[in-house]
Every structure is written in C-alpha cells, then in structure tokens.
Amino acid sequence: MRKFVKKLIGLALMATMVMGAMTGCSSNAASNSGTAGSNTSSTANVQVGIVLPTKDEPRWLQDQKQFETILGDAGFTNQVLFSQGSSATEKTNVETLISKGIDVLIICAQDGAAASAAVEEAKAAGVKVIAYDRLVTGTDAVDYYVTFDSFAVGAAQGQYLIDNAPAGSGIPLYLYAGAATDNNAFIFFEGAWSVLQPKIADGTLVVANSSEAINLKDQAELTREQIGTIIGQITTDWDFNVAKSKAEANLTSASASAKGDVLVLAPNDGTARSIADVFASDKDITSYVITGQDSEKASVQYIIDGKQSMTVFKDTRTLAADSVAMAMNILEGKEPATDTTYNNDKIDVPAKQTSIVVVTKDNVKQALIDSGYYNSSEFTGIK
Ligand code: BGC
C-alpha cells in the first residue's frame, strides 16, 4: 500500500517533471541512481531500473543524466546500471534491478539478440520492459520501444555526403557502419544506402572499401542479410580503436584513384573522430567530408574546427522524457501513446519515434546552444 501511495504522489510529480524536461527546466531533487556498473551495495527498493550499454561513450552519459534528472526530480526511486560492453553484465544488471523490486525496466541492449534472455526474466518477474534506443530482438518480452528515427539518421548522413560531394564523378566513398549486434546499425545503413545507392549505381560515387557493397550497387533495397554482409566488411563495432585500425588498413591498401577528395560515411561521432584523424593524416587525401551522429561534445568541437563535417542531433532529453512518460502510464495502468511499430523478428513492438536534426557548422549554435543542450563555454570558437 505504501508503495502504491508513493507511486501516485510520484506520478503527479512526474507528470510535471516530464513536461519540465521537455521544456528544458528541472529542479534538483536527489535520486538514488547508481552508476557503478553491474552491482551496487544499495538495498533500497527501486521502481524504475535503467540499463545502458557503456559509460565509455559520452552519448550514454547524456542519457544517464536525463534519466537521473527526470526520474529523480519526480521522486521516483531509480537506478542506472551500465553493461560495459558485456551481455553477461547486462543480464546481471537486469537481475539486480529485478531483485530490487522494479516495476519498469528501461533497457538499451548491448546486443539486441542476446538481451532477449534478460528481458524474458524481467517479464517473468512481472516487470514491464521498454526497449530504449536499440531494439531487443527475437522475443515477445518487449512491451514498448522508444527510439529516434534511425532510418532518417542514415538518410541524413547519406544526403549530406551527396550535397557536399566534390563536382564530377568517380568520387571515392568510404563506408563504415556500427556493430552488427546492434539492430540500429542495420537501420542506419539502410537509410544511408537509400540515398547513396543511386549515386553509386550511376558512377558518381565509387565505394573504396567494400567489395560486397560494390557487388550490390545496382540494388536499391537490400535484404537484412545483404546489409549484414556489407556490415561484415565495414563494421567499427562502435569501437573507436576498431574504427581507427579499419580506416588505416583501408587507406594503406587504397589505390591512388581512391585518394584525393573523398567522402566518408562514419556511423557515429566517436568513430567519426577516429576515422577523421586517420584521413587527416594521410598526405594523399586532399579533402574529406565525414558524417557522424549524437552531437557529442568532442565532435561539436571537431565541427567548429572543421575536422568533422556534420553530426546528427538526437535530443536525449526527448527520448528519456518519452520513456519516463511511458513508464508513468504503465505504472498508472494506462496504455502509453505510440505512433508506430517495429518488428523485432518475433512481434510488432509498439513504438514511439522521435525525429532528428542535422547539425553543421552553420546551425551548431542554434541547435545545441540556444536549445540549452550545451553551454557555449564548453567550446572554443563558437559563433
Ligand atoms: C545509437 C547511437 C550510438 C551507437 C553507439 C546506437 O545504437 O543509436 O546513438 O552512437 O549506438 O553506441
């Protein structure tokens, strides 16, 4: 009973705070969020558990910050745990949260397929599961999905490359992708391919580092398996070091015609910075245009400095607020609002999708500073 009364008070507060988060305001009430990794010594009851993939990418620290602010301010006990690139740790994290009595699990899977075992345990314990940003696949134990429009992310990256390509034809295009264990990596690539493929097919662009992409260049729509074969050649595993070594290997084996003014599809900001550094240090690369996503601080500085061409802003305030609003509905026994579905290879998961914004040197201040996401003092040379 006590828990129920507390929940109702929390729900009213949360409604206010979710609105506050959406408009950029928040207060500073304490939360009990743990950030230590798989285990904490706290025995406190936790209402909403959040599991994120890694602390080592600034993207997920942004999400953590939003969750702690919104849930903490709303008076909900919550805990954020990181899987640190390990599905085993992820499963332990979910079990830890179940043992603390969570009603709702918000999980961003390390590996979409492997996470099915963890969410099935949660479901068996009566916990509602919200997949966050990355879909959990091959299971019916996902109740909802909150995501950005990942196809639009890839399409925006591809379109940026086309719009900023040097004149002429035969322009070298280097393709890189995310981890094959992440469903999003497929959707990002599918979006980019939808825009780039006609220009590859007509010879305007020439893929420099994927024989599989070259084999499939006349095919407008690829199957998941075909995308998988391309990703197999160009994956970064979402790892900066893998991205760096792959770019180095690609440039070492590239012919003279694959150098000069080039285009680079980099899947996110962390990998973009690694790849950009490699391209910048090759004396035979005259210029490069390179994409990114997440609007990480370091990449925003790279954009200001002209070292990265664009990023995609995915406002983590909105995504966290959407999933918290969903959690609130679930706790109230209401059906959360959704606007689409995503098939996870087992069921159509009801989903809430959020749009994205392309950020370049021209709108960085308006998109990221004026919107209150970052402070201009965090950067040098911002206009
Ligand atoms: C997310 C990206 C992130 C990437 C690597 C993807 O699933 O959507 O925002 O950069 O994972 O962590």
The full 3-state SS of the chain, as one line of letters, equals CHHHHHHHHHHHHHHHHHHHHHCCCCCCCCCCCCCCCCCCCCCCCCCEEEEECCCCCHHHHHHHHHHHHHHHHCCCCEEEEECCCCHHHHHHHHHHHHHCCCCEEEECCCCCCCHHHHHHHHHHCCCEEEEECCCCCCCCCCCEEEEECHHHHHHHHHHHHHHCCCCCCCEEEEECECCCCCHHHHHHHHHHHHHHHHHHHCCCEEECCCHHHHHCCCCCCCCHHHHHHHHHHHECCCCHHHHHHHHHHHHHHCCHHHCEEEEEECCCHHHHHHHHHHHHCCCCEEEEEECCCCCCHHHHHHHHCCCCCCEEECCHHHHHHHHHHHHHHHHHCCCCCCCEEEECCCCEEEEEEECCEEECCCCHHHHHHCCCCCCHHHCCCCC
In a domain, 383, yes or no: no
Q: Give me the residue label for tokens 């997440």.
A: 294
Nearest alpha carbon to residue 365 among 355, 378, 354, 352: 378
Measured in Å, residue 188 CA sits from the centre of ligand 1 at 10
Whether residues 272 and 189 fall in one domain = yes
Domain that holds residue 23: 3-142+315-354
Looking at the structure, tell me whether residues 210 and 88 fall in a common domain.
Answer: no
The span from the first CA to the last CA of the chain, in angstroms, equals 55
Q: 155 and 131, same structural domain?
A: no
Verify that 96 and 13 share a domain, yes or no.
yes
CA 224 to chain CA mean position, Å: 19
CA–CA distances in Å: residue 91 to residues 110, 177, 352: 10, 26, 25
Dmax (CA) for the chain in angstroms is 73
Q: Are residues 264 and 186 in the same domain?
A: yes
Looking at the CA of residue 269, tell me the nearest atom of ligand 1. 10
pLDDT at 44: 65
Task: With respect to residue 136, please indicate whether it lies within any of the assigned structural domains.
Answer: yes
Of ligand 1's listed atoms, the one at least distance from the Cα of 150 is 8
Identify whether residues 38 and 119 lie together within a single domain: yes
Q: What is the pLDDT along the chain (383 residues), one digit of tens a residue?
A: 333 333 433 444 444 444 444 443 333 333 333 333 333 334 568 999 999 999 999 999 999 999 999 988 888 889 999 999 999 999 999 999 999 999 999 999 999 999 999 999 999 999 999 999 999 999 999 999 999 999 999 999 999 999 999 999 999 999 999 999 999 999 999 999 999 999 999 999 999 999 999 999 999 999 999 999 999 999 999 999 999 999 999 999 999 999 999 999 999 999 999 999 999 999 999 999 999 999 999 999 999 999 999 999 999 999 999 999 999 999 889 999 999 999 999 999 999 999 999 999 999 999 999 999 999 999 999 87
Shared domain check, 341 and 272 = no
Residue closest via CA to ligand 1's atom 3 equals 268
Best probe residue, ligand 1, of 55, 57, 59, 323 (max atoms within 8 Å of C-beta): 59
Q: Are residues 98 and 240 in the same domain?
A: no
Kindly give the distance from the C-alpha atom of residue 204 to the centroid of ligand 1, in angstroms, as a whole number.
Answer: 29
- Name the closest-CA residue to atom 6, ligand 1: 184
The CATH number of the domain holding residue 40 is 3.40.50.2300
The reply to whether 247 falls in a domain is yes
Residue nearest to atom 5 of ligand 1 (CA): 238
Residue 230: inside a domain = yes
For ligand 1, pick from 83, 84, 133 the residue to mutate: most ligand atoms within 8 Å of CB: 133
Beta-carbon contacts of residue 299 (< 8 Å; ≥ 6 apart): 269, 270, 272, 273, 292, 308, 311
303 and 178, same domain (yes or no):
yes
Q: Which long-range contacts (CB under 8 A, 24 or more apart) does 27-32 make?
A: 27/73, 28/73, 29/72, 29/73, 29/75, 30/72, 31/68, 31/69, 31/71, 31/72, 31/73, 31/76, 31/77, 31/78, 32/72, 32/77, 32/78, 32/79
Measured from the Cα of 188, ligand 1's closest atom is 8
Q: Is residue 24 one of the residues assigned to a domain?
A: yes
Tell me which of 55, 151, 182 to substitute to probe ligand 1's pocket, judged by most ligand atoms within 8 Å of the beta carbon: 182
- 201 domain residue, yes or no: yes
Residue 85 covered by a domain: yes
Residue-level pLDDT at 12: 46
If asked whether residues 96 and 107 sit together in one domain, one would say yes
Region of residue 295 (left: phi > 0; alpha: psi -120 to 50; beta: else): left
Residue having the nearest C-alpha atom to atom 10 of ligand 1: 268
Residues 65 and 206 in one domain: no
Query: What is the reported pLDDT for 26?
Result: 35
Q: Which atom of ligand 1 is nearest to the CA of 60?
A: 12
Q: What's the confidence (pLDDT) of residue 149? A: 97
Closest CA to 78 of 95, 100, 60, 110: 100
| Whether residues 67 and 119 fall in one domain | yes
For residue 353, the tally of other CB atoms under 10 A from its CB is: 19
Do residues 238 and 57 make contact, with C-beta atoms less than 8 angstroms apart? yes
Nearest atom of ligand 1 to the alpha carbon of 134: 7
Residue of 268, 271, 315, 354 to test ligand 1 pocket, by largest number of atoms within 8 Å of CB: 268
* Ligand 1 binding residues, C-beta < 6 A: 57, 59, 133-134, 178, 182, 184, 238, 268, 293-294, 314
The total number of structural domains in the chain stands at 2
Residue 261's closest CA among 344, 169, 198? Answer: 169
Q: Is residue 113 within 8 Å of 67, Cβ to Cβ? A: no
- pLDDT for 332 equals 86
Q: What gap in Å lies between CA 357 and CA 353, rounded to an integer? A: 14
Q: What is the pLDDT of residue 382?
A: 85
d(CA 68, CA 29): 10
What's the CA gap between 378 and 32, in Å, rounded?
27
Quickly tell me which residue has 């899947």 as its tokens: 267
Take atom 9 of ligand 1 and give the residue whose Cα is closest.
294
Q: Flag whether 188 is in a domain.
A: yes
